[in-house]
């Protein structure tokens, strides 16, 4: 028996990186996973890769910054799979052309980052919560970031979106605690994903030396893997964490303990 047999989970931005790790981990433990993502090729790949797991991963092509798309995702998942037990608001973008002082950031880029990273969390929750209330509970786990707590120059919209996710996590936890809906967040440190590859490429720094430098920033001496985050998400979504809500967990190799990491 897997921990998530008979459970239904939706993971946004689930086709690559951390989201992919979360989808696979839930499916390994028996869950039916809906992977919502804009990357159809990566979506087909994760469906194929998950074919022999005890649960399943179903890809849905969806831009979760759109309200109607989020509503459709939830309605379809409930109709196809009979419920919704876990929602992972994992999607996040940090476009490589957005690294600049705040006053130079084009409004369109600000809006896009906030829409994908923060507004999607609100939109998915606003459609998932009524379903969870009706079925007697559920768990929402948001992928925020250590950059929601501390930051570095040049990432105003991204940092604001991640701080906003942490605030929304607390807010929703309070509002729905008596509905048996727990709301939590994970704050990854640097994780080995396409997002980090693209950032290094844009900086002209996708070299072994730069990667070694990133590893050195983390007290444990390495950057994380998607599975490092997935294991914590699965714990938070499980009954083992039933007394946890409105809280975040830094999964960052000790970066936040060190402080002044930026
Ligand atoms: N990788 C890190 O070091 C790191 C650190 C801290 C926080 N995070 C956060 O973790 C989450 C996942 O990051 P990642 O590194 O795996 O990113 P990634 O770029 O590797 O993967 C993100 C996924 O989201 C999808 N996506 C993008 N826009 C979308 C949209 N509008 N609708 C649906 N899907 C969309 C992409 O196609 C991709 O599959 C993000 O919220 C990110 O901010 C990552």
Neighbouring C-beta atoms of residue 77, cutoff 10 Å: 24
Residue 165: alpha-carbon gap to chain centroid:
10
The pTM (predicted TM-score) of the whole model is 0.98
Residue located nearest, by CA, to atom 39 of ligand 1? 16
- What integer pLDDT is reported at residue 260 of this predicted model? 58
4 catalytic residue (yes or no): no
Q: Which of 11, 44, 244, 34 is nearest to 120 (CA)?
A: 11
How many domains does the chain contain in total?
Answer: 1
Say if 261 falls within a structural domain: no
Taking Cα atoms as reference points, which of 43, 142, 153, 138 lies closest to residue 90?
A: 142
Nearest residue to 26 via CA among 191, 237, 186, 248: 237
Which of 210, 89, 206, 95 is closest to 156 using CA atoms? 95
- Residue 73 lies inside a defined structural domain of this protein: yes
Pocket test residue of 11, 146, 185, 195 for ligand 1, highest count of atoms within 8 A of CB: 195
| Helix axes 208-217 and 194-202, enclosed angle (nearest 10) | 120
Q: Which two tokens stand for residue 167?
A: 């605030």
Per-residue pLDDT tens digits for 205-234: 899 999 999 999 999 999 999 999 999 999
- Kindly give the residue spans of alpha helices, DSSP state H, lying in the chain: 17-28, 40-49, 67-81, 107-114, 120-135, 156-176, 194-202, 208-217, 226-236, 255-258
**Under the phi-then-psi rule, with left for phi > 0, alpha for psi from -120 to 50, and beta for the rest, what region is 108?**
alpha
The model's confidence at residue 1, banded by pLDDT at 50, 70 and 90, is: confident
In a domain, 86, yes or no: yes
What's residue 259's pLDDT? 67
Instruction: Classify residue 3: in a domain, yes or no.
Output: no
- 22 part of a folded domain: yes
In angstroms, the first-to-last Cα distance of the chain is: 43
Atom of ligand 1 nearest to the CA of 36: 33
Residue owning the nearest CA to atom 41 of ligand 1: 92
Question: Domain range for residue 88?
Answer: 8-187+227-252
Q: Is the CB of 142 under 6 A from ligand 1?
A: no
What CATH number is associated with residue 231?
3.40.50.720
- By percentage, how much of the chain surpasses pLDDT 90? 96
Q: What's the average model confidence in pLDDT over 201-205?
A: 90
List pLDDT tens digits, range 138-148.
999 999 999 99
210 domain residue, yes or no: no
Does residue 196 lie within any of the structural domains?
Answer: no
| Domain presence at residue 50 | yes
List CB contacts of 65: < 8 A, sequence separation 6 or more.
Answer: 112, 115, 116, 119, 120, 123
Q: What percent of the chain has pLDDT over 70?
A: 98
Residue identifier of the C-alpha nearest atom 23 of ligand 1: 13
Give residue-wise pLDDT tens across range 79-127: 999 999 999 999 999 999 999 999 999 999 999 999 999 999 999 999 9
């Amino acid at each position: 028996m897997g921990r998530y047999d008979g459970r239904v989970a939706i993971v946004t931005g689930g086709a690559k990186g951390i989201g992919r790790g979360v989808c696979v981990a839930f499916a390994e433990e028996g869950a039916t996973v809906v992977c919502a993502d804009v990357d159809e090729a990566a979506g087909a790949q994760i469906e194929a890769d998950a074919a022999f797991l005890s649960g399943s991963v179903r890809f849905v092509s969806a831009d979760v910054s759109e309200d109607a798309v989020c509503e459709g995702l939830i309605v379809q998942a409930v109709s196809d799979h009979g419920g919704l037990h876990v929602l992972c608001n994992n999607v996040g973008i940090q476009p490589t052309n957005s690294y600049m002082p705040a006053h130079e950031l084009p409004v369109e880029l600000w809006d896009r980052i906030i829409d994908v990273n923060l507004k999607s969390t609100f939109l998915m929750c606003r459609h998932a919560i009524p379903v969870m209330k009706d079925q007697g509970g559920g768990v929402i786990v948001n992928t925020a970031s250590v950059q929601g707590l501390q930051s570095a120059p040049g990432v105003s919209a991204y940092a604001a979106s991640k701080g906003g996710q942490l605030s929304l996590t607390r807010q929703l936890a309070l509002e729905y605690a008596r509905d048996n809906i727990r709301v939590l967040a994970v704050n990854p440190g640097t994780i080995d994903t396409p997002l980090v590859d693209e950032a290094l490429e844009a900086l002209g720094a996708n070299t072994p030396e730069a990667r070694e430098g990133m590893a050195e920033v983390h007290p444990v001496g390495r950057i994380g893997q998607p599975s490092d985050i997935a294991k914590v998400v699965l714990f938070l979504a499980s009954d083992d964490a039933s007394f946890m809500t409105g809280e975040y967990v830094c999964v960052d190799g000790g970066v936040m303990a060190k402080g002044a990491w930026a």
